[in-house]
């Protein structure tokens, strides 16, 4: 049985302490637990597994958590898992311990008791190969302090004996002196060490030291007893029953589900879905301050508080991790209204007057005359009277207790109300009229410019806008001084700061600062939300607040002036969205006034869902001031270390650089840019995956620069600089250049030699061409001579015959012998037809001899050609008593030039008919092989003599040369041979005297009339002669 220690001398002190504790408790009970937004992460959106066992935050700002699927790093947006695939030395993916070294570098222990950490290149390394039956303080890679081995030998053996079975459930709570402090071993052993000795060692008969049921605070160990009461034990081993104080009435009743969580020297408790921070006034009293209400989120295993960011993280057994961020803003609403606010004004010091009602500490008043007309302007004058528009064309002046003083009826809807230093009240209308309240009426001014938004400068001068510009208006002299840079800008918000600078917000054209009559546009945020700025409020810390249609922005006023003065090219804007506590991201503008500042410094902004209020001087901003780290440097798919300057081979294809910069705030507030110095001077926005991809860089020295604004201030920049070099190819080195010069000189020598050789060869080629041209000219001349002689010979007889027939027909006509006339004219027609066919063939043959002749080929039916030839030779065959037969056993179509083939066959039939009497002429189209056809023309006439056959074969062998031309030869076979050659076919002639002649044309292509090629047209250059 354990005796509780009570010191009688301490009774008075305990009473005083109890009173202090009760006072603190009563104070705490009056405090509200802040509201938080909740983000929930599971295996569905980043975690490898849903059991989050431990949480730590390292020096770089990363959040680390252990799971059953490996160690997880969280940068506020992305999760990275370190398991056996990334750290092959791990015994398993289960991590049993997670801690921080002296410089807050993370280390973790696997189930094999190996301890790992990360180096400056963010690469894991083995920090300690085996820590099992001892407790080692891992201060750094080189400094590691073994708490157990620091003890005297006897005490060391005594403590080590407990570690054998309880190595994974031990924890050391260091005191001020190294080696001193509580050592918790397993669930039931507690020891205190001091000056290398064991001061006391206690073994409980239940799991008092279970990991989430015990913790250290002010060098005292707190734990739950078996009745779920809190007890503590000091460094001397004295045990106390603790009286906890919590907000509310009555003593708290803890259960087995009440847990304690240690975070450095701080101790937290989770009880009934609420987290408390514990504060010890003495050994017997604990103040439990509520800091987070979570609702039911399942079995909680670990907890981490990040006070500088207002963030709480909770790890659960089966439901992943929760991130709670403190709501910085409060939304105020008026029940029974649409809560769509525009105008507002401070009323009676701590109240707020809006078009929907009055909000004051004593309550909300929304009766008559509320609601006011839509977007009604509101003015509280220096006498405390309220000016407002209860109806569209009416302005009322009322006393602070709402009694009507006077009413002004207008023909226009009021838009803005303002009071000048002399107490005069001016107003503008939505239609652009501008006037002054005098007596019971409004004196409207007849100005050439419309006035919508305005702000008094003095009794007679105003800043004003007509919706399409900005100008200074002098109502006394009726003059308007235009600001030229603001032409076309719809200005709706004005603010004059202490330096007399006018800040003007437009609807869709950004915001401007007007100094010395000149307007300067301020830079926008990266999403262009600052195009519409509804109002400006400056807080006591020197920050300018600007609501927009897409959230709320804050900038340091000095940063804006630095931009105006040319000292910087960018401004850091801090962004707030509805996750910070307001219900809708869209703020309203166009109401006058559209924002208010309470006497206690509280700001109030109108939105589409309530009034958004905040104490600007007490707000916690999460600034993006963490380091920028290179997470991976991958070259052609292989990861490379980038701890120092890096050299790359020139043949690489792709570099991928993965960056990391932890930030727990809104992603819009961290903007990373990169530049590759040596490639260009441009800065590029880093994509959401935080990867930079480079392809095929030329050789040289490069510097990777990554930067971001770390917060407010023009020089507040975080910059990462890494150098790397791409080596040149061998041909890009200096010795390659020397070799190239030598090679160039040698090449020049070789070129000269080759040029000489080329000119010599060219001379020979030209001489050969001259010989060839000479031969062609000789061939052409001989051919022309032969054509001339043969034409003169062959046409002389037919023409003479026609002359005789003409005389015969003339004589017969004179004697009325009509039968003779008919016969004669018939003969004339036949002769003329023969002459026409002859001339047509000569013309066709002449074209084929021209240079650049192009022969078109198409498929056509052979039987149609045969019918034409039979009709042509019918009378001539009858005259010679010959018969003509065409044979086409395969019904073949032919793919060639129809006119030339027709001329060849016509000449062959003509020759056979000429040298055959009473005989038979046969033309056969048959298959030569699988791809070609042949045409045979045979007769049984008198045949050729060997000499004539020899001449013809010689012409066939020497086609298109002068040797193939004989002056005594017949022109018909000259034409036939040339035509067959043009058809890319072969000609064979066989003849036996007295038995006849056979001429074979082989190499013709078959054609399909219905195929696609049958309808294609031949194409030839325009300078070609086509047939």
- 970, pLDDT greater than 80: no
- 835, pLDDT greater than 50: yes
Q: Flag whether 801 is in a domain.
A: no
- Per-residue three-class SS string for 302-340: EEEEEHHHCEEEEEECCCCEEEEEECCCEEECCCCCCCC
Q: What is the pLDDT of residue 265?
A: 93
Q: Flag whether 874 is in a domain.
A: yes
Query: Whole-angstrom Cα distance, residue 684 to residue 686?
Result: 6
Mean pLDDT of 351-368: 93
1021 pLDDT tier (thresholds 50, 70, 90): very low
User: Which tens digits make up the pLDDT trace of 733-756?
Assistant: 888 889 989 999 999 999 999 999
Q: What is the pLDDT of residue 971?
A: 56
Find, among 669, 667, 713, the residue nearest to 573 by Cα: 669
Tokens of 662: 């932890």
H or E element in which residue 823 lies: helix 818-848
Find, among 946, 1023, 930, the residue nearest to 992 by Cα: 946
Residue carrying structure tokens 């001579």: 785
H or E element in which residue 613 lies: strand 610-614
Most confident of the ranges 132-146, 229-243, 991-1005: 229-243
Do residue 1006 and residue 860 come from a single domain?
Answer: yes
End-to-end CA distance of the chain: 126
Radius of gyration, CA atoms only, the chain: 54
User: Which tens digits make up the pLDDT trace of 367-420?
Assistant: 888 998 888 999 999 999 999 998 878 999 999 988 999 999 888 889 999 999
Per-residue b/e over 744-760, b at no fewer than 16 CB within 10 Å? eeeeeeeeeeeeeeeee
- 8, pLDDT greater than 50: no
Q: Are 503 and 494 in contact (CB under 8 A)?
A: yes
CATH of the domain at 987: 3.30.565.10
Query: Whole-angstrom Cα distance, residue 308 to residue 605?
Result: 26
Q: Are 201 and 158 in contact (CB under 8 A)?
A: yes
For the chain, give the percent of residues with pLDDT over 70. Answer: 89
User: Which tens digits make up the pLDDT trace of 445-481?
Assistant: 999 999 999 999 999 999 999 999 999 999 999 999 9
User: Which tens digits make up the pLDDT trace of 501-519?
Assistant: 999 999 999 999 999 999 9
Q: Which of 654-658, 744-748, 832-836, 873-877 has the lowest mean pLDDT?
A: 832-836
Contacts of 830 (CB under 8 A, 6+ apart): 875
DSSP character at residue 652: -
Chain centroid, CA 379 distance in Å: 50
- Domain end, chosen from 195, 210, 225, is at 210
Q: What is the pLDDT of residue 850?
A: 60
DSSP character at residue 601: S
Q: What is the pLDDT of residue 221?
A: 97
Q: What angle do CA 525, 530, 532 make, to 5 degrees?
A: 165
Q: What is the pLDDT of residue 963?
A: 55
Q: Strand runs (DSSP E) across 652-775, as ranges?
A: 654-660, 672-677, 684-685, 691-695, 700-709, 717-726
- 296, pLDDT greater than 70: yes
Mean pLDDT of 656-664: 95
Bond into 999 cis (ω within 30): no
Bond into 593 cis (ω within 30): yes
Tokens of 233: 């034990």
CA distances for 979 relative to 586, 666, 897, 913, 983, angstroms: 90, 88, 10, 20, 6
User: Which tens digits make up the pLDDT trace of 487-500?
Assistant: 999 999 999 999 99
Q: Flag whether 619 is in a domain.
A: no
H or E element in which residue 637 lies: none
CA distances for 775 relative to 116, 783, 1002, angstroms: 94, 12, 29
User: Which tens digits make up the pLDDT trace of 558-591?
Assistant: 999 999 999 999 999 999 999 999 999 999 999 9
- 814, pLDDT greater than 90: no
Query: Whole-angstrom Cα distance, residue 134 to residue 164?
Result: 9
Q: What is the pLDDT of residue 792?
A: 59
DSSP-assigned beta bridge partners for residue 116: 108, 126
Find, among 359, 325, 313, 341, the residue nearest to 577 by Cα: 325
Find, among 26, 1011, 80, 123, the residue nearest to 641 by Cα: 123
Helix, strand, or coil (residue 693): strand
- 1017, pLDDT greater than 80: no
855 pLDDT tier (thresholds 50, 70, 90): confident
- 1027, pLDDT greater than 60: no
pTM for the predicted model, two decimal places: 0.71
Q: What is the pLDDT of residue 19?
A: 40
Query: Whole-angstrom Cα distance, residue 293 to residue 314?
Result: 11
More confident residue, 76 or 147: 76
Q: Using CB atoms within 10 A of its CB, is residue 120 exposed (0-12), middle (13-18) or buried (19+)?
A: exposed
171 pLDDT tier (thresholds 50, 70, 90): confident
DSSP string covering 135-191, please?
Answer: -EEE-SSS-EEETTTTS-HHHHHHHHHHHHHHGGGEEEEE-SSTT-EEEEETTTEEE
652 pLDDT tier (thresholds 50, 70, 90): very high
Q: What is the pLDDT of residue 136?
A: 75
User: Which tens digits make up the pLDDT trace of 713-735?
Assistant: 999 999 999 999 999 998 888 88
Mean residue pLDDT across the chain: 87
Do residue 875 and residue 1014 come from a single domain?
Answer: yes
Query: Whole-angstrom Cα distance, residue 48 to residue 64?
Result: 13
- 983, pLDDT greater than 70: yes
Mean pLDDT of 97-108: 89
- 1025, pLDDT greater than 50: no
- Domain end, chosen from 668, 703, 732, is at 732
Q: Are 665 and 622 in contact (CB under 8 A)?
A: yes
- Count other C-beta atoms under 10 Å from residue 1003's C-beta: 17
CATH of the domain at 707: 2.60.40.10
Q: What is the pLDDT of residue 310?
A: 93
Q: What is the pLDDT of residue 754?
A: 92
- Domain end, chosen from 698, 732, 766, is at 732
- 334, pLDDT greater than 70: yes
Tokens of 863: 């039987």
- 17, pLDDT greater than 70: no
- 2, pLDDT greater than 90: no
Q: Flag whether 790 is in a domain.
A: no
Q: What is the pLDDT of residue 1020?
A: 42
Number of H helices, E strands in the chain: 9, 73
- 29, pLDDT greater than 50: no
Q: Flag whether 79 is in a domain.
A: no
Query: Whole-angstrom Cα distance, residue 602 to residue 614?
Result: 6
| Angle between helix 898-914 and 971-982 (nearest 10) | 150
Mean pLDDT of 604-612: 97
More confident residue, 543 or 976: 543
DSSP character at residue 237: -
Q: What is the pLDDT of residue 775?
A: 75
Q: Which of 27-36, 358-367, 731-740, 835-844 has the lowest mean pLDDT?
A: 27-36
Q: Which of 511-515, 708-712, 1002-1006 has the lowest mean pLDDT?
A: 1002-1006
For the chain, give the percent of residues with pLDDT over 90. Answer: 61
1009 pLDDT tier (thresholds 50, 70, 90): low
Q: Are 454 and 465 in contact (CB under 8 A)?
A: yes
Mean pLDDT of 875-894: 89
Q: What is the pLDDT of residue 233?
A: 96
Q: What is the pLDDT of residue 1016?
A: 35
Instruction: Give the up-direction half-sphere exposure of residue 512: CA atoms within 13 A in the CB hemisphere.
Output: 23
Query: Whole-angstrom Cα distance, residue 506 to residue 491?
Result: 4
Kind of pairing, strands 893-896 and 920-927? unpaired
- Count other C-beta atoms under 10 Å from residue 324's C-beta: 24
Q: Flag whether 184 is in a domain.
A: yes
Do residue 723 and residue 866 come from a single domain?
Answer: no
Mean pLDDT of 774-801: 66
- The long-range contacts involving 417-420, CB below 8 angstroms and separated by at least 24 positions, are 417/377, 417/378, 417/379, 417/387, 417/388, 417/592, 418/379, 418/454, 418/455, 418/456, 418/592, 419/379, 419/381, 419/382, 419/456, 420/456, 420/458, 420/459, 420/460
Q: Which of 43-52, 90-99, 632-641, 1011-1020 has the lowest mean pLDDT?
A: 1011-1020
Do residue 1013 and residue 875 come from a single domain?
Answer: yes
More confident residue, 794 or 469: 469
- 12, pLDDT greater than 70: no
1023 pLDDT tier (thresholds 50, 70, 90): very low
Mean pLDDT of 528-552: 97
Q: Which of 163-172, 254-263, 867-876 has the lowest mean pLDDT?
A: 163-172
Q: What is the pLDDT of residue 180?
A: 94
User: Which tens digits make up the pLDDT trace of 920-950?
Assistant: 999 999 988 888 999 999 999 999 989 888 8
Instruction: Give the up-direction half-sphere exposure of residue 328: CA atoms within 13 A in the CB hemisphere.
Output: 21
Q: Flag whether 712 is in a domain.
A: yes
- 1019, pLDDT greater than 80: no
Q: What is the pLDDT of residue 741?
A: 92
Give the distance between the most distant pair of CA atoms in the chain.
179
Tokens of 814: 């004179």
Q: Flag whether 106 is in a domain.
A: no
**Domains: count for the chain:** 3
- 542, pLDDT greater than 90: yes
Q: What is the pLDDT of residue 528?
A: 97
Q: What is the pLDDT of residue 34?
A: 80
Range of the domain at 973: 852-1026
Q: What is the pLDDT of residue 899?
A: 86
């Amino acid at each position: 049985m354990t005796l509780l220690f009570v010191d009688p001398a301490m009774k008075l002190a305990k009473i005083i302490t109890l009173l202090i504790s009760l006072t603190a408790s009563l104070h705490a009970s009056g405090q509200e637990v802040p509201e938080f937004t909740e983000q929930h992460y599971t295996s569905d959106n980043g975690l490898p597994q849903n059991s989050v066992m431990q949480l730590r935050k390292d020096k770089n700002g990363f959040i680390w958590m252990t799971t059953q699927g490996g160690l997880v790093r969280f940068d506020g947006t992305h999760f990275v898992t370190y398991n056996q695939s990334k750290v092959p030395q791990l015994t398993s993916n289960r991590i049993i311990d997670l801690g921080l070294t002296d410089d807050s570098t993370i280390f973790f222990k696997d189930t094999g008791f190996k301890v790992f950490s990360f180096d400056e290149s963010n690469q894991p390394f083995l920090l300690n190969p085996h820590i099992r039956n001892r407790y080692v303080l891992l201060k750094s890679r080189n400094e590691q302090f073994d708490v157990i081995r620091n003890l005297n030998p006897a005490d060391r053996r005594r403590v080590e004996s407990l570690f054998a079975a309880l190595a994974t459930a031990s924890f050391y709570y260091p005191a001020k002196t190294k080696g001193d402090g509580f050592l918790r071993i397993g669930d039931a052993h507690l020891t205190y060490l001091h000056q290398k000795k064991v001061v006391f060692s206690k073994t409980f008969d239940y799991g008092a030291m279970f990991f989430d049921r015990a913790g250290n605070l002010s060098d005292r160990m707190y734990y739950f007893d078996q009745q779920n009461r809190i007890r503590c034990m000091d460094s001397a081993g004295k045990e106390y029953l603790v009286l906890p104080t919590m907000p509310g009435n009555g003593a708290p009743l803890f259960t087995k589900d009440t847990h304690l969580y240690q975070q450095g020297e701080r101790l937290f408790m989770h009880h009934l879905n609420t987290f408390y921070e514990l504060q010890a006034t003495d050994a017997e009293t604990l103040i439990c301050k509520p800091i987070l209400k979570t609702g039911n989120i399942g079995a909680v295993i670990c907890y981490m508080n990040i006070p500088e960011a207002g963030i709480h993280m909770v790890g659960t057994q089966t439901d992943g991790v929760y991130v709670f961020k403190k709501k910085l803003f409060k939304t105020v609403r008026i029940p029974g209204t649409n809560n769509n606010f525009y105008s507002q004004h401070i009323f009676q010091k701590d109240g707020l007057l809006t078009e929907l009602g009055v909000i004051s500490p004593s309550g909300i008043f929304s009766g008559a005359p509320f609601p006011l007309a839509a977007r009604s302007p509101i003015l509280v004058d220096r006498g405390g009277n309220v000016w407002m528009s209860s109806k569209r064309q009416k302005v009322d002046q009322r006393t602070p207790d709402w009694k009507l003083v006077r009413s002004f009826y207008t023909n226009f809807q009021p838009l803005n109300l303002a009071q000048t230093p002399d107490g005069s009240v001016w107003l503008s209308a939505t239609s652009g009229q501008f006037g002054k309240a005098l007596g019971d009426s409004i004196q409207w001014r007849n100005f050439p410019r419309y006035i919508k938004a305005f702000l008094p400068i003095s009794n007679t001068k105003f800043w004003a806008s007509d919706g399409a510009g900005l100008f200074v208006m002098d109502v006394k002299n009726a003059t308007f001084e235009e600001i030229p840079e603001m032409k076309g800008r719809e200005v709706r918000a004005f603010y004059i700061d202490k330096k007399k600078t006018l800040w003007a917000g437009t609807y869709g054209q950004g915001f401007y600062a007007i100094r010395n009559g000149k307007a300067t546009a301020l830079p926008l945020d990266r999403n262009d939300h600052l195009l519409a700025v509804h109002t400006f409020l400056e807080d006591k810390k020197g920050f300018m607040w600007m609501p927009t249609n897409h959230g709320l922005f804050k900038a340091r006023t000095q940063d804006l002036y630095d931009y105006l003065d040319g000292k910087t090219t960018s401004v850091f804007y801090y962004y707030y969205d509805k996750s910070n506590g307001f219900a809708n991201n869209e703020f309203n503008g166009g109401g006058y006034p559209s924002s208010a500042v309470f006497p206690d410094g509280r700001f109030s902004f109108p939105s589409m869902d309530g009034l958004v209020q905040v104490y600007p001087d007490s707000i916690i901003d999460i600034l993006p001031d963490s380091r920028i780290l290179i997470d991976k440097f991958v070259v052609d798919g292989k990861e490379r270390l980038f701890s120092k300057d890096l050299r790359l081979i020139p043949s690489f294809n792709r570099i991928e650089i993965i960056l990391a910069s932890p930030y727990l705030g809104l992603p819009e507030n961290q903007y990373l840019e990169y530049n590759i110095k040596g490639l260009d001077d441009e800065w590029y926005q880093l994509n959401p995956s935080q990867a930079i991809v480079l392809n095929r860089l030329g050789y040289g020295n490069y510097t990777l620069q990554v930067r971001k604004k770390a917060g407010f201030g023009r020089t507040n920049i975080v910059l990462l600089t890494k150098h790397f070099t791409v080596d040149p190819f061998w041909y890009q080195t200096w010795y390659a250049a020397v070799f190239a010069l030598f090679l160039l000189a040698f090449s020049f020598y070789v070129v000269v030699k080759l040029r000489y050789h080329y000119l010599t060869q060219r001379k020979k080629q030209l001489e050969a061409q001259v010989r060839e041209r000479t031969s062609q000219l000789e061939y052409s001349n001989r051919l022309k001579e032969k054509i001339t002689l043969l034409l003169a010979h062959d046409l002389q007889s037919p023409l003479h015959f026609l002359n005789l027939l003409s005389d015969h027909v003339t004589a017969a006509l004179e004697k009325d012998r009509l039968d003779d006339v008919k016969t004669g004219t018939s003969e004339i027609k036949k002769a003329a037809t023969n002459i026409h066919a002859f001339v047509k063939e000569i013309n066709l043959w002449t074209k084929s001899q021209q240079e650049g002749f192009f022969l078109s080929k198409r498929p056509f039916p052979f039987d149609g050609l045969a019918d034409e030839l039979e009709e042509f030779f019918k009378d001539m065959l009858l005259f010679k008593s010959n018969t003509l037969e065409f044979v086409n056993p395969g019904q073949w179509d032919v793919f060639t030039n129809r006119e030339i083939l027709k001329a060849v066959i016509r000449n062959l039939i003509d020759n056979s008919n000429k040298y055959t009497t009473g005989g038979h002429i046969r033309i056969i189209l048959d298959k030569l092989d699988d791809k070609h056809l042949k045409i045979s023309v045979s007769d049984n006439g008198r045949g050729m003599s060997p000499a004539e056959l020899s001449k013809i074969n010689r012409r066939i062998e020497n086609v298109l040369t002068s040797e193939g031309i004989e002056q005594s030869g017949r022109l018909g076979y000259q034409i036939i041979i040339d035509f067959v050659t043009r058809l890319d076919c072969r000609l064979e002639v066989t003849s036996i005297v007295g038995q006849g002649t056979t001429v074979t044309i082989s190499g013709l292509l078959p054609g399909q009339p219905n195929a696609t090629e049958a309808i294609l047209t031949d194409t030839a250059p325009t300078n070609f002669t086509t047939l």
